[in-house]
């Protein structure tokens, strides 16, 4: 449910950006959402379609880029995706530690149309 206020914020930011660039319409928004950010891309998409109606973002493409969480090996420093039931590094077998990769949540770009 916390995707609702998040999506409202995204739309507000995109419309502000559109107004500031004197655009007629927001064409697309690229949003980076880590799989461990606590936010569900499909929910954001659903709210976006509903909330964007009647505004500058109506009909805009919301592209959601998921980021898979990664661990960093404490021994060799390799970044790797955690396997089920294992934290072991695929390179050296060392133990992986959590990183911030996979917790991202940000707008990567907003494309507007000027005409």
User: Which residues sit at the interface with Zn ion, rule CB under 5 A?
Assistant: 73, 75-76, 78, 89, 91-92, 94
Q: What angle do CA 11, 15, 16 make, to 5 degrees?
A: 115
Smallest separation, CB 71 to Zn ion (Å)? 10
Q: Using CA atoms, how far apart are residues 15 and 24, in angstroms rounded to an integer?
A: 10
For residues 4 and 78, which CB has a smaller minimum distance to Zn ion in the complex? 78
- Minimum Å distance from CB 75 to Zn ion? 5
Residue 45's φ and ψ, nearest 5 degrees, are -60, -45
Query: Is the Cβ of residue 5 or residue 90 nearer to Zn ion in the bound state?
Result: 90
Q: Closest separation between CB of residue 97 and Zn ion, Å?
A: 11
């Amino acid at each position: 449910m916390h995707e609702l206020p998040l999506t409202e914020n995204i739309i507000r930011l995109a419309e502000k950006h559109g107004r500031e660039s004197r655009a007629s319409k927001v064409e697309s928004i690229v949003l980076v959402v880590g799989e461990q950010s606590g936010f569900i891309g499909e929910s954001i998409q659903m709210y976006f379609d509903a909330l964007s109606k009647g505004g500058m973002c109506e009909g805009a493409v919301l592209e959601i880029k998921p980021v898979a969480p990664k661990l960093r090996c404490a021994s060799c420093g390799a970044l790797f995706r955690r396997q089920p039931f294992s934290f072991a590094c695929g390179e050296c077998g060392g133990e992986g530690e959590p990183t911030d990769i996979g917790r991202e949540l940000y707008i990567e770009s907003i494309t507007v149309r000027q005409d």
